Chain A
Amino acid sequence: MTISRRALNWGLATSLAAPSIWGAGRAAGETIKIGMVLPVTGPAADNGKYSLAGAKIALDRVNTAGGVLGKQIELVTEDDQTTNPGAVLAFSKLAAQPDIVAFLGSIRSTQNHAMAGDILKAGKPVCFGGTDPKLTKLGNPWLIRFRPNDTYSGRVIATYGVETLAKKNWAIVHSTDAFGTSGFNALSTSLEKIGAKVAIDQGYPNQSQDFTPVVLAIKSSGADVIGSYFTFDNDLAIFARQLRQLGVTLPWVGSPSIIAVSALKLAGSALYGSYGVADFTIDANPESKAFAESYTAASKLRPDNYSSWTYDAIGVLCDAMKRAGTTEPNKLRAAILATRGYKGAEGEYNFDEFGDGLHGYNIVRNEKGSIVFDKHIEFTD
């Protein structure tokens, strides 16, 4: 443990405990407030730290450039405790503050589903990172997505595995929550369309302590490639290690969690040679490189999608406010959905009528711990 890391953690804790610090010295009404639901405690607390850091970089950039509509932007945060009830409570607390004009929701689909009812009641734009395709098809106009949904990740995983790796017999490992289940559905549907088959489907409960049954089932299934949708990094790392220990050396193409900073640290060499679909990759474009430089300079960490989507969400929100000339919810939503060609860290945002801003994924490979960009696959249909 280094002094600087401890200092960083205390700084973060202090900031979260008293979020109004960022707006200190400003009288009420002199700032535009954006609410943010994020995990400060629970299994995903480290992800929340990254998400906050990404949002903060965008916030500083906007405020340094003079703010929006003549006002500085202020972030108000609430801890979702990495649980669905925690997320609902956190959003309710934020929604009760009338001067908050928009929100950043969760990167976890299951939490966004849990909050959806309250989001509809609040009637203000909620930018979120969960990738369950259903979220923007619920008939809830306030849910606006800042990551490509699993329809695209499933298609990219399937296309890359079948066409590039020439593997047609798949083992799919996924969490049984909303994210993992929707990922499985998207991947299996895509595989079926291109003539590949699912040899074995292994859903698992989050926070599993052991994956031996899953690994042995894959080993005896005859599968020649693994596709995965893991919700939590520690689950992914335990699976990766047991996979290699039990002698399974199949190629593995995973959802974005396979290249998350925590997963890479925990799993180490067990993830070498694996492939991942990534909405954020440092080398994908000039904007992602610029974001990575800012993020690393500010936090001394390598950025991943936990930080990139919040960075983009703040950027698009502020851009939309400027174009709308107001923070009135309906006009702000319309301005966000009218966004075309916005170049963010995750790619180019072109919102469709459902509220999906991104429509493609990058393919990357883990080269002895380094994440190497391969190619970007964009869909127009």
Chain B
Amino acid sequence: MDFFLQLLFTGVGIGAVYALVALGFVLIFRATNVVNFAQGEFSMVAAYLMVVFAVDLGLPYWVAFLISIAGMALLGAAFNLLVYYPLRNRGFLPVLISTIGASIFLGNTTLALYGPQPQVLAGWLDTPGFQLGPIYLDSQYLVIVTVTLALVLFQYWLFEHTLLGKKLQATSQDKEMAALLGVPVALMIMFTFVYSAVLGGIAGILVAPVLFVSIQMGSAIALKAFAATIIGGFGDVAGAIIGGFAIGIVETLGAAYISVPFKDAFAFVVLIAFLALRPQGIFGERVAEKA
């Protein structure tokens, strides 16, 4: 039982990171009907910004965090203006390819500016972890889960209880109708990119003390987050969260009880099963209604 609980804790921690990045995928997809393949790079860029401000410049952790998040908001806005907006009327594929290009650009630019050596970023708490009976609780995983749950609650409040949230929902459901009703659609899409970049950035900063800061850290997370998005039901916020946690737990338990070498495969076996048996994902009905 101790063995299981230890694994469950780790799976939830990793799953929380997938969920955060998946949330970014979903928000942009809902607003633009496009998958942003640079979502993982948002995490990587934010982690490097933290290294620059917190490690290289020695600023206090929270100051570095706020500056990095502000930087990610700017990056999200620039991404919207340069990668999405010029191609918004050219269909699905050009925008998709544009995001892949942006992903490569962000990775190689960071490589050229900072160099290839992975970097170490300290955790949010001074203590590395706590022993709770037989279970070791990594403090960074506790932070990751806590922040993820807080962001989920914030997002629920934003979308369900604010005018801005209603406008964002209207934009994601029907842009033309939203525009006719006076919703500034372009501004809402801009806000979505900014918010998604910030979410991806927070995920990167949270996971950096666990996985280290490297050019490829974002793509490794994004692949699983993408699978989580499909499992949850593409376009569904709750589905992305549940999908993220599900993948984190399934791959950790699968590795422990079945096979470590096939650890990565478990996530994708679940993905294939969903694509075959329930392609609309866990919360697919709502997407179908939307269509």
A residues lining the B interface (CB < 8 Å): 1-2, 5-6, 8-10, 12-13, 40-43, 45-46, 48-49, 176, 202-205, 207-210, 212-214, 216-217, 220, 233-234, 237-238, 245-247, 262, 265-266, 268
Q: Judge whether B260 is part of the interface by a CB distance below 8 angstroms.
A: yes
**Given known A-B contacts A49-B117, A209-B220, A237-B212, A1 and B56 have beta carbons under 8 A apart:** yes
Set B7, B108, B118, B136: member contacting A247, Cβ < 8 A: B136
| B144 nearest CB across to chain A (Å) | 12
Interface of B, helix, strand, loop or mixed by DSSP? helix
Within 8 A of A (CB), among B197-233: 210-212, 214-216, 220-221
Residues of A within 8 A of B118 (CB): 46, 233-234, 262, 265-266
Contact A9 B14, beta carbon cutoff 8 Å = no
**Given known A-B contacts A41-B108, A176-B261, A213 and B252 have beta carbons under 8 A apart:** yes
Q: Judge whether B6 is part of the interface by a CB distance below 8 angstroms.
A: yes
Within 8 A of A (CB), among B42-59: 51-52, 56
Contact A266 B115, beta carbon cutoff 8 Å = no
Contact B260 A214, beta carbon cutoff 8 Å = yes
Contact A49 B263, beta carbon cutoff 8 Å = no
Contact B252 A234, beta carbon cutoff 8 Å = no
Residues of B within 8 A of A266 (CB): 118, 120, 212
Complexed CA–CA distance, A214 and B7 (Å)? 11
Contact B112 A205, beta carbon cutoff 8 Å = no
Contact B116 A46, beta carbon cutoff 8 Å = yes
**Given known A-B contacts A209-B221, A246-B136, A41 and B263 have beta carbons under 8 A apart:** no
Within 8 A of A (CB), among B246-288: 252, 255-256, 260-264
**Given known A-B contacts A46-B118, A207-B220, A234-B118, A220 and B3 have beta carbons under 8 A apart:** yes
- Extra A-B contacts (8), CB below 8 Å, given A41-B116, A202-B260, A212-B10: A43-B214, A49-B115, A212-B252, A213-B260, A216-B256, A238-B210, A245-B129, A245-B136
Q: Judge whether B181 is part of the interface by a CB distance below 8 angstroms.
A: no
- Choose among A43, A202, A214, A233 the residue with the greatest number of B CB atoms under 10 Å from its CB: A43
Contact A238 B3, beta carbon cutoff 8 Å = no
Set B51, B211, B261, B262: member contacting A238, Cβ < 8 A: B211
Ranked nearest first, the 3 interchain pairs of A and B with the lowest CB-CB distance are A45-B116, A213-B256, A9-B115
Q: Judge whether B128 is part of the interface by a CB distance below 8 angstroms.
A: yes
Residues of A within 8 A of B261 (CB): 176, 203-205
- Sample 27 A-B pairs with CB under 8 A, ordered by A number: A1-B52, A2-B56, A9-B112, A9-B113, A13-B112, A42-B215, A42-B216, A43-B215, A45-B116, A46-B115, A49-B115, A204-B261, A210-B10, A210-B14, A212-B252, A212-B256, A213-B252, A213-B263, A214-B260, A216-B6, A217-B260, A220-B3, A234-B118, A234-B211, A246-B6, A265-B120, A266-B212
Contact B115 A268, beta carbon cutoff 8 Å = no
Complexed CA–CA distance, A144 and B168 (Å)? 62
Q: Judge whether B111 is part of the interface by a CB distance below 8 angstroms.
A: yes
Q: Judge whether B114 is part of the interface by a CB distance below 8 angstroms.
A: yes
Contact A205 B116, beta carbon cutoff 8 Å = no
Complexed CA–CA distance, A176 and B211 (Å)? 20
